[in-house]
Amino acid sequence: MTARSTAMDRVYWRLLGVFDELTGQPIADAQVDDISTGTSTATTNTGTMALSFADTSGILVRVRKLGYVPQLHFVASPLRDSTPITIVLKPSAQSLPLVVTRGTSLRTPADTVRKLELAGFYDRRMSTAAPSRAFVTRKQLNKVTVLSDLTAITARKFCPNNTYIDGMKVSMPVINMPNRTTKVFRDGIDALLTPDEVEGIEFYTISTVPPQYNATAPPGAMGVPPCGATLIWTR
């Protein structure tokens, strides 16, 4: 037993053993903290450790490990007493029944663009509630001469109040008409980009917009209604 000497007597470091309540197996890397000082150490692969910072007056320690219910114990290292202390931790996590899901992927090797991959385009196409037609790739873009024509193909509209180009929020172009209020056109996107400059587009309604792009604005000029979001990824 490891010990330390004093001028008068020998004080033994208290040995702790931490074990799993269900299996009886030792728990490695269980953290043992001195509540009063914050001093901390951990158990070895055998689930044991010599608590060197516990003195003869005793300390309150917390023993914890991810997946187990933490415990508090009063531990002292008295003179001439080397009796080990066994601590049993109860697992806190419960195993859930296996759930098997089946789905059809919309993605093929030919439908993988590195930029869209890094932008999370394909992940959102599989995980969000937006339908497949809300995700436009070069296949659809090659069919139009201006971006606003995509509305007829996808039945989805550009969102002038919440548009992002390569992850940056942008404002739609405006036009000043004599004797009329400034107006944001639905097809204002055509003044920003052409189909040849775009790699992919994501159209979201208010109910399907991903949380990180959920910045729906109030109605715009000329009563343009609020909408979800439009994400545009350039080539």
pLDDT tens per residue across span 74-133 = 887 766 666 788 889 988 755 555 555 444 445 555 557 888 998 899 999 988 889 999
Which residue would you say has higher pLDDT here, 33 or 57? Answer: 33
- Please, which residues bridge with residue 232 across strands? 165, 201
Task: Please check the confidence at residue 197 and state whether its pLDDT lies above 60.
Answer: yes
Residue 77: per-residue pLDDT: 73
Tokens of 230: 């439009």
The Cα–Cα gap between 72 and 74 comes to 7
30 contacts 47 by C-beta, under 8 angstroms:
yes
Residue 199: per-residue pLDDT: 94
112 contacts 43 by C-beta, under 8 angstroms:
no
Task: Please check the confidence at residue 160 and state whether its pLDDT lies above 80.
Answer: yes
27 contacts 65 by C-beta, under 8 angstroms:
yes
Q: Give the chain's radius of gyration (CA, Å).
A: 32
Task: Please check the confidence at residue 173 and state whether its pLDDT lies above 70.
Answer: no
Average confidence score pLDDT of the chain: 78
pLDDT tens per residue across span 200-219 = 999 999 888 888 887 644 44
Which residue would you say has higher pLDDT here, 53 or 228? Answer: 228
Residue 111: per-residue pLDDT: 59
Residue 182: per-residue pLDDT: 43
Residue indicated by tokens 């385009």: 121
The Cα–Cα gap between 227 and 218 comes to 9
pLDDT band at 135 (very low <50, low <70, confident <90, very high): very high
Q: Over range 169-197, report the average pLDDT.
A: 65
Q: Over range 1-9, report the average pLDDT.
A: 47
Can you give the pTM of this predicted structure? 0.49
pLDDT band at 184 (very low <50, low <70, confident <90, very high): very low
